[in-house]
Amino acid sequence: MSEPDRRRRRRLVIGLTLTTLLLLLAGLAAGSEGWSLAGLVQTWNGADGWLIVGQIRAPRTLGAWLTGALLGLAGAVAQGLFRNPLADPYLLGSASGASVGVVLVLAASAQSGHAISLATADAIARIGLVSAAFAGALLGVLLTLTLARGAQQTTRLLLAGVVVGVVLSAVSDLVTSAAPEALRGRQAFLLGSTGFLGWSSCVALALGLALTVPPSWRLARTLDALTLGTDTAHSLGLALPRIRLLLVTALALATGLAVSQAGLIAFVGLVAPHLVRRFAPATHGFTLVASAATGGSLLLMADVLARTLIAPREVPVGVLTALLGGGYLIWLLHRRRVA
C-alpha cells in the first residue's frame, strides 16, 4: 500500500469518527423545537430530562446510526458480490418480503382490533410489525435463493431477486386492495421512520452488526478475488458457492434487521460504499467496515435533519435519504459526463 493511500484511509477514519461523535451529540440535542445545545442542557435538567433524553432521544439516535451501519455494510457486500456499483441491499427481494409481512399484520390487526383494547392492539401491532418485517425480508431472500437454485451464479441470483421483488410487491398491493385499512401503515413503512427505535431495538441492531461484520470482513478477500473474475477466483481454490451463500446470509440478516426496525430507508446502502471508494479506494476489508460507519453517519444525519427541518413536525427520514442520495448520484453522473 502506498503512502498516499494510507493517508487517505487515515483521513477517512478520522473524519468518520469526528462526524459520528458530532452527529450523536446533535441527535441528543434535536427535539420538538429544533436543534439546540442549550435546549439539551435545559431538557436534561428538567423534571422529565432522563425520560426525554435517556429514553427517547438517545436510543433513537444510536438506533439510527446502527440501522445505517447495517445498510451500509449490506450495500458494500451486495456491490462486491454482484460486481455492480449500482447494487443495493434490497436486490434479493428483502424489501418486498418485508412489505408483505407488514401489510399482513396491519390487515389482521385491523380486522381483529375491535375485540381488544386500543393500547393492547398498538403493542401487538408494534411487536408484530417488527417480527413480520424481519420474517418477510428473510422469506423474500429464501424465495430468491430457491428460484436461483442457490448462490452459484450471481446473474441468475440477481434476476431471481428482481422477479421475487415484483411478485411480492403485487401480493402486497393485493392485500391492501382487500384491506384498505392497511394502506396508511404500509405507506409509513415504505417511507421509513426512526421514531419507534428504543433500547430493545438498539440491542437487536447491535447484535446484528456484531454477527454480520466479522464474517463479512473475513470473506472480504473473496470479494477482492471476484473483482478479477470468476475464473480467477476459482483458480485460487476458493469455494465460491459456499462463500457466496455465506455472504448472501450476512446480506439478508443485515438488511432484514434494518428494515424490520426502521422500514425501507432508501439510498443509504447504495451511496455509502460509493463515498468510501471515492475518498479512500481500498480492498474490500477496509471498504466493508468503512461503508458501515459511513452508512451510520448518513442515516443519523438524515434523522437529525428530519427532526429539525420543520420542527415540531417531522419529515419521513426515508424521503430525506432518497433526496440526499439521489442528489449525490445525479451530481456524480453529471460530473462524469462533463469529464
pLDDT tier, 3 (very low <50, low <70, confident <90, very high otherwise): confident
Tell me the three cell numbers of residue 6: 494510507
| Nearest to 93, CA basis, from 145, 46, 54, 57 | 145
| Nearest to 21, CA basis, from 307, 303, 293, 277 | 293
Predicted local distance difference test score (pLDDT) of residue 286 = 94
pLDDT tier, 211 (very low <50, low <70, confident <90, very high otherwise): very high
User: d(Cα 150, Cα 144) in Å, to the nearest integer?
Assistant: 8
User: d(Cα 272, Cα 295) in Å, to the nearest integer?
Assistant: 5
169-185 as b/e: b if 16+ CB within 10 A: bebbeebbeebeebbeb
Is the CATH code 1.10.3470.10 the one for domain 3-338?
Answer: yes
**SS3 letters across 31-55:** ECCEECHHHHHHHHHCCCHHHHHHH
Predicted local distance difference test score (pLDDT) of residue 112 = 61
Tell me the three cell numbers of residue 144: 430468491
Helix (H) / strand (E) element for 30: namely strand 30-31
Predicted local distance difference test score (pLDDT) of residue 43 = 66
User: d(Cα 332, Cα 319) in Å, to the nearest integer?
Assistant: 20
Per-residue pLDDT of 80-120, as tens digits, reads 988 888 888 998 899 899 989 888 888 877 666 544 344 44
User: d(Cα 189, Cα 60) in Å, to the nearest integer?
Assistant: 17
* Of residues 73 and 188, more confidently modeled: 73
Q: Mean of the pLDDT values across residues 24-33?
A: 84
Mean pLDDT for the chain?
85
User: d(Cα 247, Cα 219) in Å, to the nearest integer?
Assistant: 8
- Quote the pTM value: 0.90
pLDDT tier, 121 (very low <50, low <70, confident <90, very high otherwise): very low
Which of 13-17, 225-229, 325-329 is predicted most confidently? Answer: 13-17
Backbone φ, ψ for residue 207 (5° rounding): -65, -40
**N- to C-terminal Cα distance for the chain?**
28
Q: Please give the sequence-ordered ranges of beta strands (E in DSSP) within 77-204, or none if there are none.
A: none
Cβ atoms of residues 259 and 64 within 8 Å: no
Judged against a pLDDT cut of 70, whether residue 123 lies above it is answered with no
